[in-house]
Amino acid sequence: MASGIEIAPPVKRLKIKDENDEIFMSFHKDNLQTLKYALDVFNNHLSCYGVGILNIKVCNAASSKCFSNATCDCEQFRKPSSSVPRGFKIRGIFQYGFKMLDAYIKSPECIPQRRGARLALAKLLKFLTDIELTGKTLSQGREDISETEWTVRVAHHLFSKLAVGSNYTLDNISKGRIKDAYCNCGCKERLLGDYGDTSMGVPSYWHGRLDILMDVAVTVATEEPDSPGAGNCSSSEMTSDRMIACKEQIRAEAIVFSFLQKKNHPELNNFLIPTIAMSKSQMAVCLYDCENDIFLETPRLDLFVEDKFLKIETIITLWSVLNFKYCCSGVPEEIIEFGFTADFFKHAGPHLEKYIANVKAPCCYQTENTWSAVLVLEDVKEKTDDVNNIYQPS
Ligand SMILES: [Zn+2]
């Protein structure tokens, strides 16, 4: 650990009995080593579990664009003398979450007193206890299922199992939506979420529908199994390509979602709000802070090891993101001191006020994409030149 600062433990021995006490004790006895090993990876300077700092070079936030047509081209922060982008460890962004885990590792009785954080910890421990089965459930036959089916599968088996707020809304006008209320993977479990309006945005500016709406916004980017050329790629190649194609869309969603959370939840501890991009083999997270104009992004993180075992470090990252209200400590001072802001405020210019005041969900605004209506036509003054004299070849 680089930090030598001793911080008072945020947790105390729990006095009241609750339904999660058993998992706190049993996990500590049987599975603690797995969690310990995973946490070590987050301390490594060369691990992919970190965030880069982004500056927007070109963006079309001042125009009326749905997210899929948003432009948000960014550059990563580099120190003047270095060609390699610099970032920060993910545990520096989700300090409350990692402190919770560090304390629990020391003793099963060091668990958070606040109900939300305690439930978050219990959900992670339960998930890790069943991680093998969940990995199998998620990975089985995933190359052959549609994007809509994959969306249901991850909403049910990943997001709602890891998030304190386990309810979710799936886009009700997504292509080929599944009508019944049960998961499609063969587990026959009833879905906790429902289909509904997942639109959000700023009318006349960036707006659109998300694939999954929870406390965080999620966009699923997978190649359809029958799409041209998909047959020649491995699952990981084809899904990551789609994620790259959706990068600017997800960045625009992340920016708008931060303004939305600030407007709807001014009581939040900070406004560094995550948005998730998920494919069939990887995930990535964009975080925008609309108060400080700071934009962070993780690399693409593998979901699986050997294609069928869920990667614990990615699951812990996803857990911190989904429960950001309890885990995220906001933009660290070190990043503020760099002075490397996103420049979204600059790009939005006089339109920034609209992002702050008019952002909403649902936002059923439709981009004007038809040709002009019939016009009232004006006459123009006739030119008097002789048509025969206009072009004279030399
Ligand atoms: Zn299922």
Reported as a single tens digit per residue, the pLDDT across 124-178 is 999 999 999 999 999 999 989 988 899 999 999 999 999 999 999 999 876 556 6
Pick the residue with more confidence: 9 or 59?
Answer: 59
**Cβ atoms of 73 and 58 closer than 8 Å:** yes
Q: What values do phi and psi take at 93, rounded to 5?
A: -95, -35
Q: pLDDT digit string (tens) for 67-85?
A: 999 999 999 998 888 888 8
Q: Which amino acid is at 282?
A: Q
Angle between helices 131-139 and 147-154 (to 10 degrees): 170
The DSSP H or E segment spanning 316 is helix 312-322
Pairing of strands 301-302, 309-310: unpaired
Is the pLDDT score of 111 beyond 70?
A: yes
Q: How far is the CA of 188 from the centre of ligand 1 (A)?
A: 6
DSSP state of 387: G
Is the pLDDT score of 366 beyond 90?
A: no
* Whole-number pLDDT of residue 2: 39
Q: How far is the CA of 87 from the centre of ligand 1 (A)?
A: 36
Q: pLDDT digit string (tens) for 335-351?
A: 998 889 999 999 999 99
Q: How far is the CA of 315 from the centre of ligand 1 (A)?
A: 18
Q: Give 103's Cβ-side CA count (13 Å radius).
A: 22
Q: pLDDT digit string (tens) for 26-72?
A: 999 999 999 999 999 999 888 899 999 999 999 999 999 999 999 99
Q: How far is the CA of 263 from the centre of ligand 1 (A)?
A: 35
DSSP assignments along 154-199, one per residue: HIIIIIHHH-SS---EEETTSTT---SSB-SSSS-PBPSSEEE--E
Rounded Cα–Cα distance for residues 190 and 182 (Å): 4
DSSP state of 69: G
Q: How far is the CA of 322 from the centre of ligand 1 (A)?
A: 20
Q: How far is the CA of 140 from the centre of ligand 1 (A)?
A: 11
Q: Give 72's Cβ-side CA count (13 Å radius).
A: 31
Q: How far is the CA of 284 from the centre of ligand 1 (A)?
A: 23
Pick the residue with more confidence: 45 or 25?
Answer: 25
Q: How far is the CA of 312 from the centre of ligand 1 (A)?
A: 20
Q: How far is the CA of 75 from the centre of ligand 1 (A)?
A: 39
Q: How far is the CA of 186 from the centre of ligand 1 (A)?
A: 6
Find where tokens 């009318």 sit.
203
Average per-residue pLDDT for the chain: 88
* Whole-number pLDDT of residue 229: 42
Q: pLDDT digit string (tens) for 211-262?
A: 999 999 999 998 665 444 444 444 444 455 788 889 999 999 999 999 999 9
Q: pLDDT digit string (tens) for 118-138?
A: 999 999 999 999 999 999 999
Beta-bridged to residue 111, according to DSSP, are 12
Q: How far is the CA of 274 from the centre of ligand 1 (A)?
A: 25
Angle between helices 115-129 and 131-139 (to 10 degrees): 70
Q: How far is the CA of 193 from the centre of ligand 1 (A)?
A: 13
* Whole-number pLDDT of residue 365: 78
**Cβ atoms of 361 and 171 closer than 8 Å:** no
Domain range annotation of the chain = 21-358
Q: Which residues of 58-97 are buried (b: 16+ CB within 10 A; e: fewer)?
A: ebbbbebbbbebbbbebeeeeeeeeeeeebbbbbbbbbbb
Q: Report residue 180 as tokens.
A: 């019944």
Pick the residue with more confidence: 18 or 191?
Answer: 191
**Cβ atoms of 165 and 215 closer than 8 Å:** yes
Contacts of 216 (CB under 8 A, 6+ apart): 257, 273, 274, 275, 276, 321, 322, 324
Q: How far is the CA of 154 from the centre of ligand 1 (A)?
A: 9
* Whole-number pLDDT of residue 222: 83
**Cβ atoms of 174 and 148 closer than 8 Å:** yes
Per-residue pLDDT band for 368 (boundaries 50, 70, 90) equals low
Q: How far is the CA of 134 from the centre of ligand 1 (A)?
A: 9
DSSP assignments along 132-156, one per residue: HHHHHHHHTTGGGS-HHHHHHHHII
**Cβ atoms of 165 and 214 closer than 8 Å:** yes
**Cβ atoms of 176 and 148 closer than 8 Å:** yes
Q: Which amino acid is at 298?
A: T
- Residues within 5 Å of ion ligand 1, judged at the Cβ atom: 183, 185, 187
Q: How far is the CA of 149 from the centre of ligand 1 (A)?
A: 10
Q: How far is the CA of 293 from the centre of ligand 1 (A)?
A: 39
Contacts of 255 (CB under 8 A, 6+ apart): 61, 72, 206, 288, 290, 295, 342, 344, 355
Q: How far is the CA of 138 from the centre of ligand 1 (A)?
A: 8
**Cβ atoms of 344 and 60 closer than 8 Å:** no
The DSSP H or E segment spanning 356 is helix 352-358
